[in-house]
Amino acid sequence: MIVFAYPWLFLLALLPLVIYFLWSPAKKMYGDALKVPFVAELAEIKSNSGSVADFFAHSLRSSFIKIMLLSLMWICVLIALCRPQWVGEPHQVQNNGRNIMLVVDISTSMSERDFALQGKRYDRLTAVKYVVNKFVDKRIEDQIGLVLFGTRAYLQVPLTYDRSALKEVLMATDAGMAGNSTSIGDAIGVALKNMPQDDKEDNKVIVLLTDGENNDGALSMPQAVNLAKQENVKVYTIGVGSDEESFFGGFFSVPKNSGLDEASLQQLAAETKGTYFRAKDLQTLANVYEAIDQLEPQEQEGRFVQETKDLFYYPAVGALLLFFILILSARREW
């Protein structure tokens, strides 16, 4: 089926008539009458050879052909401007993926170096980047977004299939970029605001990772819980950070307060049919994302797609050819 993307441009077909009737005619320099002092000679030429009649007939034919060529060229230009397209039959495409919003804490406390890998110690945010990158690579059919938060929450990557762009943004972050405090409620609010607004369940997921408690922002944890429940969004919460502080390269450690509000994180996960995970080291954190990766994808409503091909270049080429024909005919008359 052929359709036009801009059919209203066909109104421009009346433009030549508008110009013809509204444009003032050019003033004649020599009056209305053309005085020919050698009428007798023309009459004699006409009686002898008939060349004058042939001349006028040729001129009329030439003018008519030019008008026809110009009209066809204008029609071709109009058709090209209206952008004709061939549109195929609609086909339904099934999508088995989910909409996953990663909500990552980048407050100053995420710079604490209490995660170990192969005998080396890394800060919490570096460990999170390492594990999240692997998690993102596995979720091929999902749309994934990224919210970073500290004192304020920011949408860094909206839901997208471009996993490379998301990982690039995450790798460029540093602890403390969003402030020193922790606004978990606001981060949940930003994530919910950028989720698809539909009533389907089990296809919208938030994975929240933090090492602190909600001590800043406009939304409290109970408010965030209620909003997530209203939007039918499942929230998986991850509390990161060690319960021990190491000294002398890990040979000596003492208990410490992790600063996590585990009760609120557990409630948020339970109320939204999610799960709370505790990650005290890098291996545990990797296991957490591996467990989340095992979520059974829920089939989303199929989308209808139609193949579309632009055809405007056909009338555009036709108009160009007609233009060259007019140029060549004018040169022959010269």
Kindly list the domain boundaries of the chain, sorted by start residue: 2-21+41-89+306-333, 94-303
Q: Is the dihedral of CA 53, 55, 56, 60 positive or negative?
A: positive
Residue with tokens 């060349």: 51
Tens-digit pLDDT profile for the chain (334 aa)? Answer: 888 888 888 888 888 778 777 776 665 555 555 555 555 555 555 555 555 555 555 555 667 778 888 888 889 999 999 999 988 777 665 556 788 999 999 999 898 887 876 667 888 899 899 899 989 988 887 889 999 999 999 999 999 989 999 999 999 999 989 888 899 999 999 999 999 876 566 688 999 999 888 888 899 999 999 999 988 899 999 998 776 555 444 444 444 545 788 899 999 999 999 999 998 888 888 888 888 887 655 455 555 666 788 888 899 999 999 888 888 876 665 5
pLDDT at 298 (0 to 100): 47
Domain spanning 94-303, CATH architecture: 3-Layer(aba) Sandwich (3.40)
pLDDT at 100 (0 to 100): 92
pLDDT at 272 (0 to 100): 92
Our measurement of the distance from residue 18's CA atom to the centroid of its chain's CA atoms, rounded to an integer in Å, reads 41
